[in-house]
Chain A
Amino acid sequence: MSSISTSPHSHLLLPQNQNHFLSESGTHASFTPSPRPFRPISIKCTSTPAQVQTHDPLPAQTRAQERVFNFAAGPATLPETVLRRAQSELHVWRGSGMSVMEMSHRGKEFKSIIEKAESDLRTLLQIPSEYSVLFLQGGATTQFAAVPLNLCSPADAVDYIITGSWSDKAFKEAQKFSKPTIIWSGKPEKYTKVPSFEALQQNPDAKYLHICANETIHGVEYKNYPTPKNPNAVLVADMSSNFCSKPVDVSKFGVIYAGAQKNVGPSGVTIVIIRNDLIGHAQESTPIMLDYKIHAENNSLYNTPPCYGIYMCGLVFEDLLEQGGLGEVEKKNVKKAEVLYNTIDGSNGFYKCPVEKSVRSLMNVPFTLEKPELEGEFIKEAAKENMVQLKGHRSVGGMRASIYNAMPLAGVQKLVAFMKDFQARHA
């Protein structure tokens, strides 16, 4: 019998202000740990002695030659160590005699997997005990409906800030289940900004304020978060494309939801973190699979969850903890983004990123060429150099480099070297 106990990394609990300076931005991303005491959860895995075959990560120099640097926006690159480990135990998981894909979701093996995944996630994000963590299906798009269905009645006012396509879609879906108002939209400026919070005209009766923490397509990211003016209202955030990329004060939010397929796992898993007092008020027409109470009461096992995807998320959470937690992860992400944005800004206009510097995403970097006729060639040449999926979203054009947690610094460095070389050859 092996015992795997999760324990917090000490620096995650130390009160500290982490000030990270993005080049030429002057923005401070500040993390303040929750004032509530955080108790680590100890989970024992009751499976028979683990036949864990851990593969050491390949140093960048000897990275498997056949692997590409995948800049896709989602699904996206996963940590190589995680993929190797999953591969090693796909057929038989740790002496269980079966694959994770074959396990009953109510058996002790899978229960240990999902409980450890939740426990590790709670540690990473320091999720207070008054929040539930749900592992659901249907993507963030399903949450566009589930959030208003659970948090308000059809006649209730709710506020939406639109900073890109995804918050716009969330707003439109909310019209079926609530009375949403767009209190600010970045559309006139082609989604390159986040509003000043002081100037927001919030509805004093709004039940919640909804934001999209990082817009995957437009590359706009909140570095700080607004507070709803209605003291009874809550802040709701779609964090699909920057989830677990940096520390977040969960207590500022009523609900956080995120599709897993960018930073924390494969597609098919959607994570919802919700304050417990917000659960249990679903509209009567709410489909049972969209009712947070059903999932909270059944520990995400009301029906068969996406078991293999949850297992993969669990491996990723473990990997993030081994890296030193989200503070360390953010440092890496800041460095990677800096390297890329510096190259764009230092190209004398050959490359351009239209997003306001203070809210440029650490995760999704859209850029265009001064000579758009060269964009096809850029993408094709990069692909030949094993840097793939750099084409921007069809609604935006240009290029987009998604540099999520699992994109190694070496990948960004290679891209940057290519960009400089491409510019030299086409200036």
Chain B
Amino acid sequence: MSMATTSPHTALFQNRTNPFTLSSFKPTSIKCATQLHTQAPPLTHSQDRVFNFAAGPATLPENVLLRAQSELYNWRGSGMSVMEMSHRGKEFLSIIQKAESDLRALLQIPPEYSVLFLQGGATSQFAAVPLNLCSSPDSAVDYVVTGSWSDKAAKEAQKYSKPTVIWSGKSEKYTKIPSFHDLELNENSGYLHICANETIHGVEYKDYPVPKSGVLVADMSSNFCSKPVDVSRFGVIYAGAQKNVGPSGVTIVIIRKDLIGNAQGFTPVMFDYKIHDENNSLYNTPPCYGIYMCGLVFEDLLEQGGLGEVERKNQKKAEILYSAIDGSKGFYKCPVEKSVRSLMNVPFTLEKSELEGEFIKEAAKEKMVQLKGHRSVGGMRASIYNAMPLAGVEKLVAFMKDFQARHA
């Protein structure tokens, strides 16, 4: 029997431009009833693997994939696959509890928050948030729309609340985030909703507004666990797992407990946070294998030194790519305002747009795939989530320079 004890990493406290108040956080000790298998990360990127710049589902850490592969058939002497376990058996309970514990350590989630592992993607949360946070469909709520995803969230909220779009970046093609001082927040708004990182347009909040209601809600699907976050500034954080923390089919919700238990009368049971909180995400059968995969990723992030270290890596990768774009004398362009360029999703276009198809095709031949931009935007998009190694970005940048040299 081995013990996996989580503890905050001191690295999480370094180099923070915005110091936050850490409420008393006690590390949780979880005993794993089975022996842990540790596998050394591969020294080199496997030859048969590509560099996958897809926006989501996205590349996963190779050592996580190899570990999952090694125990897919028989998990740690249990005699069965994780996919075959009863969600109420002791094996799976240990898996989901450790996943939650490790996530709490990574994000330093205060004890007054619940962590839920749900299904249905962030899109289900577009409905679940107003259904749970607004006492009636007549409740006022505010939405800041910085891209397609926050726009969809605002539209869905119209069924269950009275949302106001208090700021929209649409007129400037979603390349900016508003100055918080200029936001005209509704006095009576139940919450303020933002999308922390817009996957399609590559716009990312580097800091967060303060709503009058005290309830800030953020869709963090595409930058979840990519950097430290002061969870206490939020009422709800929700994120689909399939970009930074696991495969698709798992949606994580972090919610302050006082916000639970007020769902509207016609809320479907699977959209009621109280049901999931009271049942530790096991009210019905959860997406067990996906949760297990998230657990392996959380473990990997902790082994990397936690989110402070992870952010440093992400900054370095993004810097290399943005520098190549900005240094190309206009051959490549990223339209996003520099102060809010995403560390995760880098959209760019070619000055000669007729070359874009060739760029994508040639890159694919060089085993750099899924660089085509979203169909609503065009151009290219390189999604460089946590698991994209620096080597992948370096290869892309080298290719970009070579491509430019050949087509200048």
Contacts and interface: CB of A to CB of B under 8 A. Distances in A.
A173 interface: yes
A15 interface: no
Given A73-B86, A102-B54, A107-B370, A90 B287 contact: no
Of the candidates A77, A83, A102, the one having the most CB atoms from chain B within 10 angstroms of its own CB is A102
Contact of A72 (B86, B242, B246, B270): B86
B55 A306 contact: no
A70 to B, nearest CB: 5
Given A68-B79, A74-B285, A75-B84, A304 B69 contact: no
B135 to A, nearest CB: 16
B392 interface: no
A376 B388 CA distance: 50
B284 interface: yes
Interface stretch (A137-145, A346-354, A356-364, A367-375): A137-145
B121 A303 contact: yes
B87 A267 contact: yes
Interface in A58-102: 64, 66-68, 70, 72-78, 83-84, 86-87, 90-92, 95-99, 101-102
Contacts of A137: 119-121, 124, 249, 287
A234 interface: no
B19 interface: no
Interface stretch (B57-65, B189-197, B348-356, B393-401): B57-65
B268 A145 contact: yes
A344 B28 CA distance: 46
Nearest to B155: A288
A86 B69 CA distance: 8
B162 interface: no
B288 A78 contact: no
B390 to A, nearest CB: 18
Of the candidates A99, A265, A290, A307, the one having the most CB atoms from chain B within 10 angstroms of its own CB is A99
A103 interface: yes
Nearest to B247: A101
A332 to B, nearest CB: 19
A305 interface: yes
B159 A287 contact: yes
Interface residues of B, number: 69
Contacts of B249: 137, 268-269, 305-309
A83 B73 contact: yes
B13 to A, nearest CB: 33
A304 B122 CA distance: 9
B131 to A, nearest CB: 8
A167 interface: no
A268 B290 contact: yes
Nearest to B152: A288
Contact of A304 (B46, B50, B248): B248
Contact of B72 (A86, A92, A98, A105): A86
A103 B54 contact: yes
Chain B interface mostly: loop
Contact of B286 (A67, A267, A303): A267
Interface string B371-401: 0000000000000000000000000000000
Interface in B124-166: 124, 126-128, 156, 159-160
B234 to A, nearest CB: 22
Nearest to A51: B48
A259 interface: yes
A77 B81 CA distance: 8
Of the candidates A66, A269, A304, the one having the most CB atoms from chain B within 10 angstroms of its own CB is A304
A90 B72 contact: yes
Interface string B36-49: 00000000001011
Contacts of A389: 86, 89
Contacts of B270: 138-139, 141-142, 145
A98 B368 CA distance: 11
B29 interface: no
A377 to B, nearest CB: 19
A176 interface: yes
Contacts of B87: 75, 267
Nearest to B54: A104
A285 B248 contact: no
A261 B86 CA distance: 10
Contacts of A140: 284
A101 B283 CA distance: 25
Contact of A98 (B49, B121, B246, B265): B49
10 contacts: A66-B77, A72-B86, A75-B288, A91-B46, A138-B270, A267-B83, A267-B286, A287-B124, A304-B56, A305-B249
Q: Which 10 pairs, one residue from A and one from B, show the smallest C-beta to C-beta distance? A: A306-B249, A268-B287, A97-B50, A68-B79, A145-B268, A287-B127, A101-B247, A266-B83, A90-B69, A72-B86
